[in-house]
């Protein structure tokens, strides 16, 4: 039997219930469950927006690549770092995190 | 020794403070503008001040503290009363700020400990503005208006701000006698925000800041966000987008107030 988590890359989705407040170029995000408030700007905000529908890191990189007409690999490190940080702050859920989704 | 009582109130909270006259005079001076007009036979909550070697504070809900001086006891009392008023009035987002008004136009003065909130609000008052608060401003979550919370203002004496927070805390604060006519009695709309920072070596500098930075400052200053974030965040971000905000670095308080007033006058011209 194959462990599915080893073969299927996780998808990331904005935390259900997260409230967003746009202000200038930034977005303030409030996670009611935890009470956390985070401000995102620049590329972090873009990555967050791309989690509006469940997306893998690869899909996010591909979208950024199309947007900036650049190789998707260019974005991989930043995307992985941002997603890890978002998960840590409770801003997004991983689809393999069954307790959340 | 005879024990006396005063009752103070704000919004939905009312509490009694009891103690010997010497101690109660200090409390009365701090909360002069909160004294309840009618005494009730039983107040739900009571804080007792005592001097028995140490200066003791006891809350009827069980909290207590012992301090070595009257000044420290009264500061502890102030902090406790503020906690009680905040908890009993969740219809407000409470900002760590000062506020003054000119007619219906209110200005919030945001800043961390020792930044000069009281100093600047005092300067505004000397220019005819009215006083809402020098340390805690309740902003109504429904109307967005700043409500008066006129604790007797305190100004630190001496060259303060470039020092550490601990050192500043040691400096004596002087209560400013507050003429009732100088106290704003009605909620006011917020038309401007200023973030002062004392720097004795700096030339005066006033810089407009963006809405995002302003929102961040407002959110950081909110003392009860844990219980009202859902309502407070749209209010505070909306406020940040709507009103001008300035960082004000200054060495001379009088110049700082003039510069801030000129900037707001320019915005409203």
Measured between beta carbons, the chain B residues lying within 8 angstroms of A25 are 212
Q: Does A34 touch chain B (CB under 8 A)?
A: no
Tokens of B236: 């505070």
The whole-angstrom distance between B1's CA and the closest CA on chain A is 49
Quick one: pLDDT band at residue A98, thresholds 50, 70, 90?
Answer: very low
Q: How many CB atoms lie within 10 A of CB A92?
A: 25
**A95 CA: distance to closest CA in chain B (Å):** 26
Q: Strand ranges (DSSP E) for A1-101?
A: 12-14, 19-23, 26-31, 36-40, 92-94
B78-84 contacts at long range (C-beta below 8 A, 24 or more positions apart): B78/B30, B78/B151, B80/B47, B81/B8, B81/B15, B81/B31, B81/B47, B82/B136, B84/B13, B84/B15, B84/B45
Q: Between B165 and B113, whose confidence is greater?
A: B113
Inform me whether the pLDDT recorded for B164 exceeds 60.
no
**Residue B207 tokens, joined:** 């810089």
Per residue in B206-246, pLDDT (tens digit) is 999 999 999 999 999 999 999 999 999 999 999 999 999 99
Q: Are the beta carbons of A28 and B234 separated by less than 8 Å?
A: no
pLDDT of residue B156: 62
Question: In DSSP terms, which residues pair with B93 in a beta bridge?
Answer: B139
Residues A34-58: tens digit of each pLDDT: 888 999 998 999 999 999 999 999 9
| Residues of A with Cβ-Cβ distance to B211 under 8 angstroms | 23-24
CB contact under 8 A, A23 and B240: yes
Separation between Cα atoms, residue B239 and residue B18, nearest integer Å: 40
Nearest-CA neighbor of B150 among B77, B99, B191, B194? B99
Which residue in the set A23, A32, A37 is minimally distant from B211, CB to CB? A23
| pLDDT per position as a tens digit, B21-45 | 888 998 999 999 999 876 665 667 8
DSSP string, B70-122: HHHHHHHHHHHHHHHHHHH-TTEEEESEEEEEETTEEEEEE--TTSSHHHHHH
Tell me the chain B residues in contact with residue A32 when contact means C-beta distances shorter than 8 Å. Answer: 229-230
Q: What is the arithmetic mean of pLDDT over B183-191?
A: 95
- CB-CB contact of A11 with A4 (8 Å): no
Contacting residues of B for A28, CB less than 8 Å apart: 215, 219, 233, 237
B86 CB-contact burial (10 Å; exposed 0-12 / middle 13-18 / buried 19+): buried
Bridge partners of B45? B15
Sequence-separated (6 or more) residues with CB below 8 Å from residue A57? A9, A12, A76, A79, A80, A83
Residues 6+ apart with CB under 8 A from B266: none
Predicted confidence (pLDDT) at residue B149 exceeds the cutoff of 90: yes
List C-alpha distances in Å: B206 to B45, B118, B247, B263, B265.
Answer: 45, 18, 6, 8, 14
Instruction: State the average pLDDT over residues B51-74.
Output: 89
Residues 6 or more apart whose CB falls under 8 angstroms from that of B174 comprise B154, B155, B156, B157
Query: Look-up: residue for tokens 């840590």?
Result: A88
- Whole-angstrom distance, CA of residue B1 vs CA of residue B177: 28
Specify the range with the lowest mean pLDDT, choosing from A85-94, B80-89, B149-158, B260-269. B149-158
Q: Distance between CA B234 and CA B225 in Å, rounded?
A: 12
Where do we find the tokens 């407040």?
A21
**What six digits make up the tokens of A47?**
């990555």
Mean pLDDT of the region B193-198: 94
Write out the two tokens for B155.
């100004």
Q: Tell which residue, B166, B176, B174, has the closest CA to residue B114.
A: B166
Is there a contact between B237 and A23 if contact means CB atoms under 8 Å apart?
A: yes
């Amino acid at each position: 039997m194959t462990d599915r988590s080893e073969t299927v890359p996780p998808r990331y989705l904005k935390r259900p219930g997260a409230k967003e407040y746009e202000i200038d170029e930034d977005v303030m995000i409030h996670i009611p469950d935890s009470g956390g408030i985070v401000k995102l700007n620049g590329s972090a905000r873009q990555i967050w927006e791309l989690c509006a529908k469940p997306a893998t890191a690869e899909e996010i990189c591909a979208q950024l690549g199309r947007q900036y007409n650049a190789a998707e690999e260019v974005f991989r490190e930043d995307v992985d770092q941002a997603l890890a940080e978002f998960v840590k702050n409770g801003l997004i859920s991983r689809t393999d995190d069954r307790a959340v989704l | 020794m005879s024990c006396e009582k005063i009752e103070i109130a704000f919004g939905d909270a009312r509490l009694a403070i009891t103690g010997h006259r010497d101690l109660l005079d200090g409390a009365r001076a701090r909360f002069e503008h909160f004294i309840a007009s009618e005494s009730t036979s039983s107040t739900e909550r009571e804080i007792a001040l005592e001097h028995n070697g140490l200066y003791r504070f006891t809350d009827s809900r069980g909290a207590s503290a012992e301090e070595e001086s009257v000044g420290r006891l009264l500061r502890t009392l102030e902090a406790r009363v503020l906690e009680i008023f905040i908890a009993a009035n969740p219809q407000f987002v409470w900002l760590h700020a000062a506020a003054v008004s000119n007619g219906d136009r209110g200005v919030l003065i945001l800043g961390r400990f020792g930044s000069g909130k009281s100093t600047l609000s005092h300067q505004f008052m000397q220019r005819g503005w009215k006083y809402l608060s020098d340390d805690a401003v309740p902003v109504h979550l429904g109307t967005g208006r700043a409500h008066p919370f006129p604790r007797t203002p305190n100004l630190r004496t001496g060259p303060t701000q470039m020092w550490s927070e601990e050192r500043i805390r040691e400096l004596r604060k002087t209560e400013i006698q507050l003429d009732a006519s100088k106290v704003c009695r009605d909620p006011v709309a917020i038309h401007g925000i200023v973030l002062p920072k004392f720097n004795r070596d700096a030339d005066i500098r006033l810089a407009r800041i963006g809405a995002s930075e302003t929102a961040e400052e407002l959110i950081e200053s909110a003392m009860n966000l844990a219980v009202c974030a859902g309502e407070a965040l749209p209010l505070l971000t909306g406020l940040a987008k709507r009103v001008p905000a300035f960082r004000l670095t200054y060495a001379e308080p009088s110049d700082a107030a003039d510069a801030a007033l000129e900037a707001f006058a320019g915005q409203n011209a």
